[in-house]
Amino acid sequence: MTMAPFRLFFLLPLLSLLLSAPSPPAAAASPASAHHGGIGGRELLDQQRNFGAWFDADEAALSAPLFSGAGQRLADKVAWQQEQVQQRLRKLKKNIANPGSSSSPNKQDTTTTTTATDGEIVTPTAVTETSPDCPYTTAGAGRANLHKCAMGYAATSSVTGGAAKTCGGKYPTGYVVTTEEDVSIGWTEGSLRWAMKYCTAGVYITFSKSMKITLVQALYINSDTTIDGRGHQIVITGGPLIVYGVSNVIMHNLEVGDIPGDTDIMHIRNTTRVWVDHLKVYNADRGTISVVYGATDVTVSNSYLHNPNFMQLLGAADDAYYDRNLRVTLYRNWYDRSHQRQPHCRWGSCHVANSLFTAWTYYCLGARVYGRIRSERNYFIASTKKEATPWFNGALYYPNFDNTGTIRSYGDRLVNGSVIHEFFGSMPVFNPPYKLALMEPTDDMRDFVMQNVGPHFPASEALP
């Protein structure tokens, strides 16, 4: 007997039971579903999409009157965007404050209270992002100190990027990108690719103006490099960013999206000490920011991520033993409107904290093959799909079934019927070797994440 009929033979009883089981009764509509958000299904999705509309960057948006016109400054655009966000926040809060006539609380709006038996929750300390050591709220300033704002595993590995690098003395005050031009050969000095081709000893990169760079092919990032988009609106499209076989990289205040081909937006492979902060990444055939093939000590923070199918793969494959040292921090991110892998963790330790998850269509958190996810004080808003974790791992039959992954939830907020199924795999949950400034998963935290993610520092002019 071949393997396929063998599997089918054992699945026949299960299929028979499923087919003969009575259909569950339809759930009656209840005003209680409006409690803590007053949002259910389609209404949530519509409101959420409107809420995030100013994050949606495509050619039409970039060519709209808001982004064009001689003399129009980007400060006007930023002020308009902030006002739109505030209006939507006020509307959303009004809905939450007036859930309807129900007198009973919505039992589906919960906060997980799991107590770890294999380690206590790390108590957050007063680590802030506004101290004198962390000046990145000032556009274009703080080259020597930007890395001091890093957090999570990237910070524990002392990431500095290109803070002290000068491209071998060629650019003692840092390299400034002055042109959007990108070509595969005959590189132009002043382009972003020029810096990657010639500043192999590391460099701190800034931009002279707002620009949209359309890469003609993948751009490989060197060790000891910072790409800092503060002070301008920097959009990178056309090709992926590859952080491969290097170390000590910082990407800050950039928008990267609409990447064609069978690729992720950013590949972090066989690399250590990477901090990705205040990015907006969206739309690729594969995923957004993958951390795979031996990469470790990576933090992705304060970023907006959207992709129709796969979102974020941490750990390359079930047989990728080289990912056993994987350590990733995902902090204060917004995972918006994706199907799955938000993230998916294999082999290593994945700390997901103070992040927002909205309108997923399959699951958010997935772990298998000894992967461990510590989900801490996150905010989940379900739409039509309620389960934030899958109800099983892998296939239902040998050899693809896997029960070695671990997912533990600590103080997560579950809204609109969101459900987390914890996985108790063969590896205990971990205590991260650092402290974060964690907020409780209240509506204030949700609002903070929505307003804080993505490129966030004022620009001096609009895209040309």
* Domains of the chain by residue range: 35-97, 111-158+235-452
Centre a 10 Å sphere on the Cβ of residue 382 and count the other Cβ atoms it contains.
Answer: 24
The SS3 of residue 44 is: helix
The residue annotated as part of the active site, out of 273, 286, 327, 341, is 341
pLDDT of residue 256: 93
Q: Which residue type does 159 have?
A: V
- Torsion-angle region of residue 270: left (phi > 0), alpha (psi -120 to 50) or beta? left
pLDDT of residue 112: 56
Contact 434, 411 (CB under 8 A): no
pLDDT of residue 258: 83
Q: How far apart are CA 100 and CA 106, in angstroms?
A: 12
C-alpha of 259 from chain center: 17
Q: How far apart are CA 89 and CA 78, in angstroms?
A: 16
Cα three-residue angle 430-111-151, rounded to 5 degrees: 45
Q: Which residue has the tokens 């047989």?
A: 319
**Is 341 designated active site?**
yes
Cα three-residue angle 47-45-308, rounded to 5 degrees: 125
Residue range 111-158+235-452 in CATH 2.160.20.10? yes
E strand or H helix at 111: strand 110-111
Q: Please tell me the total number of residues recorded for the chain in this structure.
A: 464
Splitting the chain (464 residues) into consecutive groups of 10 residues, what average pLDDT does each group show?
Answer: 41 43 37 29 36 32 33 44 50 40 36 41 36 47 78 94 88 92 87 94 93 95 95 92 96 90 86 95 83 94 83 78 90 83 84 90 82 93 81 57 84 88 80 91 92 78 59
b or e along 68-85 (b: 16 or more beta carbons within 10 Å of the residue's beta carbon)?
eeeeeebeebbeebeeeb
By DSSP bridging, strand 413-415 and strand 110-111 are: antiparallel
Q: Which structure tokens are listed for 429? A: 């949950």
pTM of the model: 0.72
Q: Which structure tokens are listed for 91? A: 């509307």
In this structure, the dihedral spanned by the alpha carbons of residues 71, 76, 81 and 87, taken in order and rounded to 10 degrees, is -140
Burial class (CB in 10 A: 0-12, 13-18, 19+), 291: buried
Contact 304, 334 (CB under 8 A): yes
Kindly give the interhelix angle for 74-97 and 443-452, rounded to the nearest 10 degrees: 160
